[in-house]
Amino acid sequence: MKPALVILAAFISTFTFSAAEKPNIIYIIADDLGYGDLGCFGQKTIKTPVLDKLAAGGIRFTQHYSGSTVCAPARSTLMTGLDTGSTWLRGNGEFELRPDPEDITVATLLKGAGYRTAMVGKSCISGNTQNPQHVLNKGFDVFYGTTSHKNGHFRYPEFVYDQTQRVELEGNAFHTGKHYDAELYTVRAEKFIKETKDPFFLLLSYPIPHAAVLGPEGSVPGGAGMKHKKGHYTQVKDPAAHYQAMVEAMDAYVGRLLAALEEKGVAKNTLIFFTSDNGPHFEGGYNPKMLNSSGPLRGGKRDLYEGGIRVPTLAHWPAGITKPGDSGHISAFWDFLPTACELAGIEAPAGLHGISFAPTLTGKGEQRAHDFLYWEFHEQGTRRALLQGDWKLVQYDLDKNGKPQLFNLAKDLAETKNLAAEQPDRVAAMIEIIEKRRTPSPIFPNKALDR
């Protein structure tokens, strides 16, 4: 065993708590679900009664942010507790988190604290790779799903991995078949809940409503648009109806998980998080304006405006959340790791950007606040953003020396009035914070950011 691994093992084993003191943790992450796609966040057309009820009995986080505006880097921040200025995966592609002891994940830490861990669905530790063993090596006892994000684009994938075994899904052909991906993952999650002793950590990573935009068979009123045009994402006749069907199906799937928890008798001491990995997409014929998926926010997926990174987030935990309601606490994906560690009774590693929001959940102790949140995005000319209190700095086209934009979110949530020219000193101070915050990436070199 490498010296660093010995240190990690010793660190983890230092903290021992009885199972009764630790909540089960289920973290459900949707794919490309917009801030305005749930009823409890203002949606008028899509019906989400299960999630709305969870929010009413728990905490609705009104200013929770994804780690990025696309998939892999967002999930990397979730797993490692570092923002996109330092986490290993800063973009999509054929990359994965490094082997331990580098990129220690929340799953590794919870496993060391006595949790049985599972990842079901789309991988949160890799991009377009085929390496199921790596998921198990990064702290998960159980894996069922896809490791390459491209496989997660199809509602009827040709195969999934069960642990490291490739399981062929007979009859599936990307956009048609017998085995709908989100249904498969719900069944496997139900099985894990029913068979696993407490405490457990389940990361359920649904690939919907990401394109391909295709609701479960029979879920679209009148069967509208089930015939699709051929293409990577496909394009149905009525993408809004299919998008709605996917979100409503996911709501029903969450209801099944709740039933499994109730049947097992562990619902009270199970903490359920629900969120999305970034804003709503513009793919497969869908546009967020069709169903007001971004709500009052500007932009969507691939934007660093609020619509691309502020995500609908709720927490439900009957035994722990004693004062349900809304929370405006500013938080982000990289806060989950230290939060989970605190709830599990272990100390989070040093050097993280995340701050535990356990005090917000439990109402116990003083909630620390972030000095700022930072994002960078390496596509489309390079983009970056900084949030400091009510002030949001956004800079696009960095490869062409794009000018910074400055918004006051308290007065301008839709980011329509650029105040950069009126606040040059504030802009300069915020850019200075950015320059000091980030570190260069050996796998995502970027001339616009590294200069």
**What's the pLDDT at 277?**
98
Closest CA to 262 of 326, 190, 214, 357: 190
Cα–Cα distance between 443 and 91 in angstroms, integer?
9
pLDDT at 280 over 50: yes
Least reliable range by pLDDT among 266-270, 299-303, 447-451: 447-451
**3 state SS for the chain:** CCHHHHHHHHHHHCCCCCHHHCCEEEEEEECCCCCCCCHHHCCCCCCCHHHHHHHHCCEEECCEECCCCCHHHHHHHHHHCCCCCCCCCCCCCCCECCCCCCCCCHHHHHHHCCCEEEEEEECCCECECCCHHHHHHCCCCEEEEECECCHHHCCECCEEEECCEEEECCCCCECCCCCCHHHHHHHHHHHHHHHCCCCEEEEEECCCCCCCCCCCCCCCHHHCCCCEECCCCCEECCHHHHHHHHHHHHHHHHHHHHHHHHHHCCCCCEEEEEEECCCCCCCCCCCHHHCCCCCCCCCCCCCCCHHHHECCEEEECCCCCCCCEEECCCEEHHHHHHHHHHHHCCCCCCCCCCCCCHHHHHCCCCCCCCCCEEEEECCCCCEEEEEECCEEEEECCHHHCCCEEEEECCCCCCCCCCCCCCCHHHHHHHHHHHHHHCCCCCCCCCHHHHC
**Cα 62–chain centre separation:** 15
| pLDDT tens string 169-183 | 999 999 889 999 999
Least reliable range by pLDDT among 21-25, 112-116, 201-205, 383-387: 21-25
Average pLDDT over residues 350-358: 97
Crossing angle for the helix pair 239-264 and 181-195, nearest 10 degrees?
10
Residue holding tokens 């894990």?
A: 192
Average pLDDT over residues 382-407: 97
Crossing angle for the helix pair 336-344 and 71-80, nearest 10 degrees?
30
At position 154, the amino acid (one-letter code) is F
Average pLDDT over residues 394-409: 97
| pLDDT tens string 36-56 | 999 999 999 999 999 999 999
**Residue 303, φ and ψ in degrees, nearest 5:** -95, 150
Average pLDDT over residues 56-63: 98
pLDDT at 1 over 50: no
**What's the pLDDT at 26?**
98
**What's the pLDDT at 227?**
59
Average pLDDT over residues 351-367: 97
**What's the pLDDT at 224?**
54
Q: Which residues contact 388 (CB under 8 A, 6 or more apart)?
A: 371, 372, 430, 433
Residue 67 contacts residue 85 (beta carbons within 8 Å):
no
pLDDT at 20 over 50: yes
Q: Which domains does the chain have, with CATH numbers?
A: 3-362 (3.40.720.10), 373-450 (3.30.1120.10)
pLDDT at 295 over 50: yes
Average pLDDT over residues 381-409: 97
**What's the pLDDT at 233?**
84
To the nearest whole number, what is the mean pLDDT of the chain?
93
Average pLDDT over residues 371-380: 97
